[in-house]
Amino acid sequence: MVVPHAATASTPLATTPAAGSVIEFRNVTKTYQPGRPAVDNLTLTIDGGAITVFVGPSGCGKTTSLRMINRMVEPSAGTITVDGRDVSTGPAPALRRSMGYVMQSAGLLPHRTVTDNVTTVLRLNRVPRAQARRRAAELLDTVGLSSELGRRYPNQLSGGQQQRVGVARALAADPPVLLMDEPFSAVDPVVRAELQQELLRLQRDLAKTIVFVTHDIDEATLLGDKVAVFATGGRVAQYAAPEEILRAPADDFVAGFVGRDRGFRHLSFSPGTDVPLHPVPHGAGWELVLDDDGGPAGWRRDGAAVVPGGSLFRLGDSLRRALDAALSSPSGLGVAVDDDGRVAGVVKGTEVLAAIDAARRAREGGP
């Protein structure tokens, strides 16, 4: 868990919002060209201590809206407040230092070590060097990196490691507000999934007010406590919990952006606890091969070579994960694993579908 650094006489405490900060947009407009607003009369409240995701197609104003919070972009009209204080009333550099900011390419300084990158804001706030370096070591551990990596330079790290360093740097001064501008879009899908889960883990510990920009609706519904769907022309077409956006899109634009398979995505909000768990099959036909730790190594049919086993269903996961595990398995049986990755049993596609139908009837209040 992040421990706040000790304040010094020169630390800009007067510009630092309180923990769990509430951010409000009030009739905010940004216009670069007359008659063509990039953001059009935006009014919404971002809850403190939660993740709010701005999602939408390119050029819809979501990044501009994010950058107006810390005044990297100045609004043409309207007011943005943090805990009731107008962000335009103080110096912009001090405001930016009071908030964490993570961008798509991590934005690390190539000529500085990882540790020196993480301590950037602390040193700007005149935190003593030794104290700042101790804080950097703590944060590298917090984001899942070895403190030994602190001596390396950014070009000696993988893309995923660089993004973790970017998050550590954003958290260095323990800001209550964290702005994230498509931070995971430049890494491969496997690393992206790991970073998404890492962010959720960090948020459970830290409870920051996070504003996250993405163009990926799956990422938005996975991460967001609330999601703002931006439409072309800089307007917010819908602002709601992700489950509501998938279940009841506000208009044709939202329905089209979410996609035709929104019913499948909506399964992420239905627990898979009622799906029956069966013993692992042995003998004739398909056989599940285990590794030395009791985890799944793949499937083998009638003594043939082992083939990959598809995705996994972790006990307690959603119906979406259960169905995907069954559909992606060569045997038609989804592999269920416990928290340690050991095989706990298998699930059948037909029974997952039955559980999906039962969940639908329960939502509709039917028998």
Give the model's pLDDT for residue 283.
64
> How does pLDDT run across 2-51, given as a tens digit for each residue?
333 333 333 333 344 445 689 999 999 999 888 789 999 999 999 999 99
Task: Concatenate the DSSP letters of all residues of 83-146 into one string.
Answer: TTEEGGGS-HHHHHHTSEEE-TTTT--TTS-HHHHHTHHHHHTT--HHHHHHHHHHHHHHTT--
Q: Which residues of 95-120 are buried (b: 16+ CB within 10 A; e: fewer)?
A: bbbbbbbbbbebebeeeebbbbbbbb
Residue 159 tokens, joined: 């893309």
Give the model's pLDDT for residue 263.
77
For helices 319-328 and 349-364, angle between their N-to-C axes, nearest 10 degrees: 160
Distance CA 117, CA 130 (A): 14
Give the model's pLDDT for residue 7.
35
Helix segments in the chain, DSSP class H:
62-69, 92-97, 114-118, 120-124, 129-142, 159-171, 189-206, 217-223, 242-247, 252-258, 262-266, 319-328, 349-364
Cα dist from 271 to 36, 323, 359, whole Å: 44, 12, 9
Sequence letter at residue 147 = S
Give the model's pLDDT for residue 122.
86
Superfamily of domain 13-268 in CATH is P-loop containing nucleotide triphosphate hydrolases (3.40.50.300)
Q: In this structure, are strands 312-314 and 333-337 parallel, antiparallel, or unpaired?
A: parallel
Distance CA 229, CA 209 (A): 18
**Which residues lie closer than 8 Å to 271 by C-beta, 6 or more apart?**
316, 317, 318, 319
Sequence letter at residue 255 = A
* Phi, psi of 192, rounded to the nearest 5 degrees: -60, -45
**Which residues lie closer than 8 Å to 136 by C-beta, 6 or more apart?**
114, 115, 118, 119, 122, 150, 168, 172
**Which residues lie closer than 8 Å to 317 by C-beta, 6 or more apart?**
271, 272
Measured between its terminal Cα atoms, the distance across the chain in Å is 46
CB 308 within 8 A of CB 329: no
Give the model's pLDDT for residue 11.
32
CB 226 within 8 A of CB 53: yes
- 81 has which bridge partners? 24, 86
> How does pLDDT run across 67-121, given as a tens digit for each residue?
999 999 999 999 999 999 999 999 999 999 889 999 887 688 889 999 999 988 8
pTM here is: 0.79
Give the model's pLDDT for residue 259.
79
* The CATH number of domain 286-364, selected from 3.40.50.620, 3.40.50.1980, 3.20.20.70, 3.10.580.10: 3.10.580.10
Which regions of the chain carry the CATH code 3.40.50.300?
13-268
CA angle 157, 162, 166 (to 5 degrees): 150
Distance CA 228, CA 212 (A): 10
Distance CA 239, CA 80 (A): 17
Q: Which residues of 293-303 are buried (b: 16+ CB within 10 A; e: fewer)?
A: eeebebbbeee
**Residue ranges in the chain modelled with pLDDT below 70:** 1-20, 106, 283-284, 366-367
Which regions of the chain carry the CATH code 3.10.580.10?
286-364
